[in-house]
């Protein structure tokens, strides 16, 4: 099948070269005389592309040289998204025509922004790196974003989460367009884990405080210190001189969350920090962040994070090296 690797200015060099390496490996392991994936790299105008880290990547040609293709893969932009976005509309017509011809379009990390700019994702379900979810929703409210997912596939559109999800996406493409066996072979030889399903365990929650409601900000600062106490929303409103209905309305307008949902997110984030940095038992952490029932806490943690507290500790707590015996 014909694969087009679309390199836009400010793209991630690592993602671009990883795609080339993985497709090369897939062709090698497939053992066919003719390459299974015929890969061509293109840029907007056929000129080398300056990556986000300053390297120049050569390409095989420009997008106008590709009149038909089976799969378009677009690397993400790491931290250079804002610089790259003004050029995204220049890819619109070409992407829409290739899509009309039946091409599948796969995006890495925040390259979902480039896809959304084309209008092809309107009403479709996609994912992107969790850190860019807020900006994406403000920019493209007509697109159904699910940033908890590592991969989303909706019709001819496939999107992936953060930079390391590049490997998940590429293995998925090999499995989808070649075979499960070939994807597993690539995984084993390249020491890549099986495709992960969610990125929520990696997400960091930061309390939204960049608003102008100073009275609500006082409540948030107080919650930072007293989140573990027995809190009743009505009493919290009264403490800061609000009527209950007015408090709930203003809190959601300022933070984007209802007070109870905000408190739960704050407690779970504190719990994550304790799980990562201490040897406290899960029951002790349950009490430390304001919950009494450890079973309910475990269910809430899994619901929000995507892993059980024990699995989260196993994945994210630094391993302690055994001390050599005397």
165-212 per-position pLDDT tens digit: 788 889 889 988 998 889 888 888 887 765 555 555 555 566 778 788
Q: Per the domain annotation, does 31 fall within a domain? A: yes
User: For residue 58, which of 66, 67, 50 has the smallest C-alpha distance?
Assistant: 50
pLDDT of the residue at 203: 52
What confidence tens digit (pLDDT) does each residue in 8-57 have? 999 999 999 999 999 999 999 998 889 999 999 999 999 999 998 889 99
Residue that finishes a domain, picked among 169, 202, 235 = 202
What CATH code is carried by the domain that includes residue 301?
Answer: 1.10.10.60
**Which residues are 61's β-sheet partners?**
42
Same-domain pairing of 247 and 149:
no
Q: Per the domain annotation, does 176 fall within a domain? A: yes
pLDDT of the residue at 17: 94
Place of tokens 């409103």: 237
Residue that finishes a domain, picked among 150, 167, 202 = 202
What confidence tens digit (pLDDT) does each residue in 92-109 have? 999 999 999 999 999 999
Mean pLDDT highest for which of 66-75, 143-152, 170-179, 189-198? 66-75
pLDDT of the residue at 234: 93
Average pLDDT over residues 297-306: 87
Instruction: Give the number of other Cβ atoms within 10 Å of residue 182's Cβ.
Output: 20
Same-domain pairing of 120 and 219:
no
Same-domain pairing of 130 and 23:
yes
| Distance set, CA 280 to CA 183, 283, 311 (Å) | 40, 8, 15
Same-domain pairing of 284 and 260:
yes
Question: Which stretch of DSSP H or E encloses residue 147?
Answer: none
Structural domain of 16: 2-202
Q: Per the domain annotation, does 322 fall within a domain? A: no
Calpha distance 226→232 (Å, rounded):
12
Q: Per the domain annotation, does 209 fall within a domain? A: no
Angle among Cα 312, 316, 321 to the nearest 5 degrees reads: 125
**Domain tally for the chain?**
2
Specify the pTM. Answer: 0.65
pLDDT of the residue at 35: 93
What's the DSSP call for residue 317? Answer: S
Q: Are strands 49-50 and 56-57 parallel, antiparallel or unpaired?
A: antiparallel
Structure tokens at 241: 């001189």
Structure tokens at 131: 């850190």
Same-domain pairing of 255 and 136:
no
């Amino acid at each position: 099948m014909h694969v087009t690797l679309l390199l836009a200015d400010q793209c991630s060099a690592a993602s671009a070269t990883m795609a080339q390496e993985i497709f090369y490996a897939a062709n090698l392991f497939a053992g066919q005389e003719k390459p299974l994936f015929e890969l061509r790299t293109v840029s907007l105008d056929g000129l080398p592309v300056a990556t986000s880290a300053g390297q120049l990547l050569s390409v095989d040609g420009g997008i106008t040289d590709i009149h038909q293709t089976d799969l378009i893969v677009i690397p993400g932009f790491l931290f250079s998204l804002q610089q790259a976005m003004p050029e995204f509309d220049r890819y619109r017509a070409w992407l829409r025509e290739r899509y009309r011809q039946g091409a599948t379009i796969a995006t890495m990390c925040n390259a979902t922004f480039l896809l959304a700019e084309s209008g092809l994702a309107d009403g479709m379900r996609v994912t992107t790196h969790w850190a860019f979810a807020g900006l994406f929703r403000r920019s493209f409210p007509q697109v159904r974003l699910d940033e908890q997912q590592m991969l989303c596939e909706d019709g001819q559109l496939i999107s992936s989460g953060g930079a390391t999800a590049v490997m998940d996406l590429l293995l998925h493409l090999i499995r989808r367009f070649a075979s499960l066996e070939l994807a597993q072979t690539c995984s084993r030889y390249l020491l890549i884990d099986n495709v992960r399903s969610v990125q929520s365990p990696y997400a960091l929650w930061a309390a939204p405080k960049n608003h102008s409601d100073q009275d609500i900000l006082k409540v948030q600062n107080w919650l930072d210190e007293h989140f573990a106490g027995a809190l009743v929303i009505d009493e919290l409103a009264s403490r800061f001189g609000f009527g209950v209905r007015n408090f709930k309305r203003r809190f959601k307008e300022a933070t984007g969350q209802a007070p109870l949902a905000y408190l739960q997110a704050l407690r779970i984030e504190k719990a994550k920090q304790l799980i990562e940095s201490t040897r406290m038992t899960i029951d002790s952490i349950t009490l430390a962040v304001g919950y009494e029932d450890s079973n309910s806490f475990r269910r809430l943690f899994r619901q929000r994070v995507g892993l059980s507290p024990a699995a989260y500790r196993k994945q994210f707590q630094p391993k302690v090296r055994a001390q050599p015996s005397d």
